[in-house]
Amino acid sequence: MAAGGSVRVIVLAFFANLGIAIAKLVAAIVTRSGSMMAESIHSFADAGNQLLLLLGDKRAKKPADEQHPLGYGREAYFWALLVAVMLFVLGGAYSLYEGIHKMKDPHPINQPGWAIGVLTLGMLLEGYSLKAAWDEGKRRRGSTPLYAWARTTGNVNLLVVLFEDIAAMAGLVLAFIAVGLTWITGDPLFDALGSCVIGVLLLYVAVFLVVQVRRLIVGFTAGPEIRAGMTAIWERHGFEVVHLAALWSGPDRLFVVGKVKPRDTSIPAGRLVEILDEADKEVYRAYPEVRFHFVEPDFDADGF
């Protein structure tokens, strides 16, 4: 269900961005607005990004095999990294270039009403997509602040879509302001400045996403709440947790290894195996995202 929620968010974002991109491109051609052209390229890039995320999600769900005994979950991180790079190049860098170009060669906006109408439509469509992503993100993070969740989550697909949608909505508002000021004042400098500001915003979001995806590729631990919950389960079953590592191995996938020491060392071997199995099953029940859970009992453990 959780994974399905993320896929739904990606699909909604794709159709919203594709519709917005086509409308923006028409308006950019008609108005010759730099901000509109920057926004059009940004939206086309976002639509392409959603396809990459869907591809990554599909490949990440491939079952484990002999060459990949832990599955293909991390492949989603690779495709998410490509998305962040595309956002940087096609979104941020191009928008900044377009703005600088318009500063050097300014010209008035033709029929600004087209741009205002398209931007208004874009904000409505993007708002729908953003609301879906925001609601799913809120359900996942609970009371955790947005940036704190973004720096610890392993759900890279939802992370990328949510921040893309936030950047897209902010870009639409900035373009609306830039076009509006250009229309009111007759000064095309506002349009050029709008494109530059949009470019800087997208560059910031792209770099932020690259940093988050990088930590997941390298191997990032699950949040302290998850680790504390798993530790509590083992302690309730009579073990001292000597070491516990829970790493994200894909969207909604955890790889857990640990070493535990029974408090009562006189427990018969057969009963010890039963207790270990009970604790193992409770971890899987409490944390469905756990795909692999390897815990070693040790009667004289000083750590790894």
Check residue 119 and give its pLDDT.
Answer: 85
Domains of the chain: 2-218 (1.20.1510.10), 224-297 (3.30.70.1350)
From the list 66, 87, 62, 65, the residue with the least C-alpha distance to 75 is: 62
HSE, CB side, 13 Å, CA atoms: give it for residue 207.
8
Q: Flag whether pLDDT at 178 surpasses 50.
A: yes
pLDDT digits (tens, 9 = 90+) for 10-28: 888 888 888 888 888 888 8
What is the residue-averaged pLDDT of the chain?
86
Between 139 and 111, the higher pLDDT residue: 139
Check residue 146 and give its pLDDT.
Answer: 93
Q: CA-to-CA distance for 267 and 155, rounded, in angstroms?
A: 40
Q: Flag whether pLDDT at 50 surpasses 60.
A: yes
pLDDT band at 5; cut points 50, 70, 90: low
Listing DSSP states for 127-171 in one string gives HHHHHHHHHHHHHHHTTS-HHHHHTT---HHHHHHHHHHHHHHHH
Check residue 300 and give its pLDDT.
Answer: 67
Q: How do 253-262 and 239-250 pair as beta strands?
A: antiparallel
In contact, 186 and 82? CB cutoff 8 Å: no
Between 303 and 268, the higher pLDDT residue: 268
Check residue 302 and give its pLDDT.
Answer: 47
Q: Flag whether pLDDT at 291 surpasses 80.
A: yes
Put the strands of the sheet holding 290-297 in their side by side order: 239-250, 253-262, 290-297
Check residue 135 and give its pLDDT.
Answer: 93
List residues bridging with 257 in a β-sheet.
Answer: 245, 294
Q: Flag whether pLDDT at 301 surpasses 50.
A: no
Instruction: Please identify which residue in the block is written with the tokens 């996942």.
Output: 140
Check residue 239 and give its pLDDT.
Answer: 93
Burial of 184 (0-12, 13-18, 19+ CB in 10 A): exposed
